[in-house]
Amino acid sequence: MGYSIAEKIIKEHIVSGEMVKGTDNGLKIDQTLTQDATGTMAYLEFEAMGVPRVKTERSVAYIDHNTLQTGFENADDHRFIQTVCKKHGIYFSRPGNGICHQVHLERFSRPGKTLIGSDSHTPTGGGIGMLAIGAGGLDVAVAMGGGAYYITMPNIVKVELKGELKPWVSAKDIILKVLEIMSVKGGVSKIIEYAGEGVKTLSVPQRATITNMGAELGATTSIFPSDETTREFLKAQGREEDYVELKADEDAVYDEHIIIDLNELEPLAACPHSPDNIKPIASLAGQKIDQVCIGSCKNSSYADLMTVAHILKGKTVHPDVSLSIAPGSKQVLTMLSENGALADMIAAGARILESACGPCIGMGQSPNSAGISLRTFNRNFLGRSGTKDGQIYLVSPETAAASALTGVFTDPTTLGEGYKVEMPEKFLINDNMIIEPAPVEEMDNIKVLRGPNIKEFPASSEMEDSIKATCSLKVEDNITTDHIMPAGAKILPLRSNIPAISQHCFTVCDTEFPNRAKTLGSSIIVGGSNYGQGSSREHAALAPLYLGVKAVLVKSFARIHRANLINAGILPLEFINESDYEKISLFDELELPNIKAEILEGDTVTLLNKTTGETIKAKCELTQRQKDIAICGGLLNYTKLNG
């Protein structure tokens, strides 16, 4: 039996396990990346492990999320990360150099290698044929220290692309179509592998747009073959030697097969408030809009923004629309400024932002009240833009630019003759914003600089034989990490300060939650299905830990958040009968009377609702390693004990 691309990479990197579906497999990690909003925690955790130098082939820290410096906090965090990197062997991408996924794709990605990153969109690297996975900061810290990264061997889905996109239809429309087919939970425990004739019609940045948004499917990762297009891209980045060919064996076996005919695709939008709420742009055409934001870690590449500049050239942004554009990297911004495309954007009235996440993470550009905002981003969760009643639509750069000019939803296929950007033979390469680590012999002289906002992460303790706790919160299906631990310009600067950031935990759903949980001392959160979808932020586990949450009992979990709960020492429990969700209410007194023994012995636990007198059975399916982590009270304690 042949292998898929993902299986080939896993086979080459496996250090424990058998590559059998559903079982735990430890993988050797070649590269890691962090960004600043998750990075401070990851590096505090790395320091706590006491490993002097990273053991990966390449570890890179990016500053791209918390770039709005309205107080000392973010600047202090940047300085902390910069000095940690210098000391411990990590490359440091300075603020201004660009968004982690775009820069990593350009300068460090390598087909056939493994990458984990403390950001859920790390699968962007799948566009070049990396096995690139989003993870919590603690998992990244362990990988930097040379430890394996564990994945439950996923099912592999083949998405076969046929034909070629019509003019003005975009790679973004392909992934929006996949989201329509599979939904935001359809990718959980799956790797999405792209194949078929249509692959060769897509450039590496187009492929990366598709793998980036595989995160919105809940997938472990997504991956494309590495072919002549990949070689050309690497050559144009001055890195042809990093190329290896990667393709699936003819007789590879897949668990699911989806076929998409690219010729049939039309421009699409993900409507509020979920990336899988898909409608054709044609069906929205003519509706008035207020804002357009172009940029983020997908759709901010050279070709995307050249297309935008072409659409805007010689025209003026509609008077009722605010258009912002953030190029994805310094490389892209410099090339646009040298060839005049930037001037075309500015002349049309675009507000040019620095190369950073910006509005995508609520760092500025919040829309007006109930404003309709078209964004080339990947998430449109309620409140994420910073305006609670903002109506965010996720669209392609072509749709975004066309609509910015007309002031209404505009189908770009009405723009007439198509426009194809030639990929440059050589990108403009200047790595002067990437700081190399100090040589080993100098590392002892480097002092790590910490600001007053950097606090220790919360300690968790060994699991008790039984847990008594009150239900401190009951929430619905599809709770995102943006509900659990909101971002935005006001809250993000507190990412290194768990006591302070905890005061914002779940406030989108219930403003009383932080104080209530703290007062209760020991509590359990109850939720619906796909709980914790979205970001990799481990703050969505560390803040509840700090507030005394001992377990989260839900219908089902999203992958990264579940792993973060285990790493933090919080028990992830799932209802065996989903209808039992109705049997618990806010403030019910709950008890897990025999929890430690039940976890050690099997995967079913008993929960008593002392308020109603009911007994509820829940699943806690943990691998042996995860059980050991849970018993120790989290991955950090486990790593300290087991090295």
Task: Kindly list the residues in this chain that would bind ligand SF4 in the complex (CB under 6 A).
Answer: 65, 99, 119, 121, 296-297, 357, 360-361, 377-378
Phi, psi for residue 590 in degrees, rounded to 5: -115, 155
CB of 102 to ligand SF4, least distance (A): 9
CB of 496 to ligand MIC, least distance (A): 12
- Report if residue 361 touches ligand MIC, rule: CB under 6 A: yes
Q: Answer with the entry of ligand MIC, ligand SF4, none that 537 interacts with (C-beta below 5 to 8 A by kind).
A: ligand MIC
CB of 310 to ligand MIC, least distance (A): 28
Confirm if 531 and 553 have CB atoms less than 8 A apart: no
Of 355 and 535, nearer to ligand MIC (C-beta) is 535
Q: Answer with the entry of ligand SF4, ligand MIC, none that 38 interacts with (C-beta below 5 to 8 A by kind).
A: ligand MIC
Region near ligand MIC per CB under 6 A, out of 85-93, 118-126, 231-239, 316-324: 118-126
Region near ligand MIC per CB under 6 A, out of 196-204, 346-354, 535-543, 621-629: 535-543
- Report if residue 121 touches ligand MIC, rule: CB under 6 A: yes
Of 112 and 359, nearer to ligand SF4 (C-beta) is 359
- Report if residue 139 touches ligand MIC, rule: CB under 6 A: no
Max alpha carbon distance in the chain (Å)? 72
Q: Answer with the entry of ligand SF4, ligand MIC, none that 336 interacts with (C-beta below 5 to 8 A by kind).
A: none
**Per-residue three-class SS string for 195-239:** ECHHHHHCCHHHHHHHHHHHHHHCECEEECCECHHHHHHHHHCCC
Of 361 and 605, nearer to ligand MIC (C-beta) is 361
- Report if residue 537 touches ligand MIC, rule: CB under 6 A: yes
CB of 39 to ligand MIC, least distance (A): 9
CB of 29 to ligand MIC, least distance (A): 17
CB of 135 to ligand SF4, least distance (A): 14
Exposed e or buried b per residue across 442-481, where buried means at least 16 C-beta atoms within 10 angstroms of its C-beta: eeeeeebebbebbbebbebeebeeebbbbbbbbbeebbbb
Of 529 and 535, nearer to ligand MIC (C-beta) is 535
CB of 535 to ligand SF4, least distance (A): 7
Q: How many residues bind ligand MIC (CB under 6 A)?
A: 14
DSSP string, 43-92: HHHHHHHT-SS--SSEEEEE--SS---SSHHHHHHHHHHHHHHHHHT-EE
Of 17 and 127, nearer to ligand MIC (C-beta) is 127
Contacts of 43 (CB under 8 A, 6+ apart): 34, 61, 80, 81, 84, 88, 141
CB of 105 to ligand SF4, least distance (A): 12
Report how far apart, in Å, the C-alpha atoms of 382 and of each of 123, 134, 342, 486, 521 are.
23, 22, 32, 10, 29
DSSP alpha helices (H): ranges in 505-590? Answer: 513-520, 539-546, 559-568
Region near ligand MIC per CB under 6 A, out of 116-124, 272-280, 304-312, 506-514: 116-124
Phi, psi for residue 471 in degrees, rounded to 5: -75, 110
The whole-angstrom separation of Cα 439 and Cα 436 is: 9
DSSP alpha helices (H): ranges in 313-386? Answer: 330-339, 341-348
Name the residue type at position 496: S
CB of 378 to ligand SF4, least distance (A): 5
Length of the chain: 643
- Report if residue 37 touches ligand MIC, rule: CB under 6 A: yes
Q: Answer with the entry of ligand MIC, ligand SF4, none that 472 interacts with (C-beta below 5 to 8 A by kind).
A: none
Confirm if 362 and 488 have CB atoms less than 8 A apart: yes
Contacts of 290 (CB under 8 A, 6+ apart): 320, 321, 322, 367, 368, 371, 372, 373
Q: Looking at 4, 536, 564, 639, which residue binds ligand MIC (CB under 6 A)?
A: 536
Confirm if 325 and 350 have CB atoms less than 8 A apart: yes
Of 203 and 378, nearer to ligand MIC (C-beta) is 378
CB of 65 to ligand SF4, least distance (A): 6
**Which long-range contacts (C-beta less than 8 Å, at least 24 apart) are formed by 605-614?**
605/571, 605/573, 607/553, 607/573, 609/583, 609/584, 611/585, 611/587, 612/583, 612/588, 614/583
Q: Which of residues 61-80 bind ligand MIC (CB under 6 A)?
A: 65
DSSP state of 531: B
Site string for ligand MIC, 446-485 (x = CB under 6 A): ----------------------------------------
Of 127 and 198, nearer to ligand MIC (C-beta) is 127
Region near ligand MIC per CB under 6 A, out of 7-15, 137-145, 266-274, 532-540: 532-540
CB of 68 to ligand SF4, least distance (A): 13
Taking only Cα atoms into account, the Rg of the chain, rounded to an integer number of angstroms, comes to: 24
Which is it for strands 434-435 and 467-474: parallel, antiparallel or unpaired?
unpaired
Of 252 and 361, nearer to ligand MIC (C-beta) is 361
CB of 264 to ligand SF4, least distance (A): 28
Q: Which of residues 144-203 bind ligand MIC (CB under 6 A)?
A: none
Q: Looking at 535, 556, 609, 626, which residue binds ligand MIC (CB under 6 A)?
A: 535
Of 537 and 550, nearer to ligand MIC (C-beta) is 537
Which is it for strands 467-474 and 523-526: parallel, antiparallel or unpaired?
parallel
Q: Looking at 40, 120, 226, 331, which residue binds ligand MIC (CB under 6 A)?
A: 120
Total Cβ atoms within 10 A of residue 354: 17
Place of tokens 């973004």: 172
Q: Looking at 45, 119, 193, 588, which residue binds ligand MIC (CB under 6 A)?
A: 119
Please give the helix or strand (H or E) that residue 626 lies within, else none: helix 624-632
The whole-angstrom separation of Cα 475 and Cα 12 is: 42
Q: Answer with the entry of ligand MIC, ligand SF4, none that 536 interacts with (C-beta below 5 to 8 A by kind).
A: ligand MIC
Q: Answer with the entry of ligand MIC, ligand SF4, none that 296 interacts with (C-beta below 5 to 8 A by kind).
A: ligand SF4
Confirm if 299 and 209 have CB atoms less than 8 A apart: yes
- Report if residue 38 touches ligand MIC, rule: CB under 6 A: yes
Confirm if 161 and 248 have CB atoms less than 8 A apart: no
Place of tokens 């993900």: 270
DSSP state of 378: S
Of 486 and 514, nearer to ligand MIC (C-beta) is 486
Report how far apart, in Å, the C-alpha atoms of 236 and of each of 423, 429, 538 are.
9, 9, 36
Of 220 and 535, nearer to ligand MIC (C-beta) is 535
Q: Answer with the entry of ligand SF4, ligand MIC, none that 529 interacts with (C-beta below 5 to 8 A by kind).
A: none
DSSP state of 246: B
Write out the residues near ligand MIC by the rule CB under 6 A. Answer: 37-38, 65, 119-121, 134, 361, 379, 487, 534-537
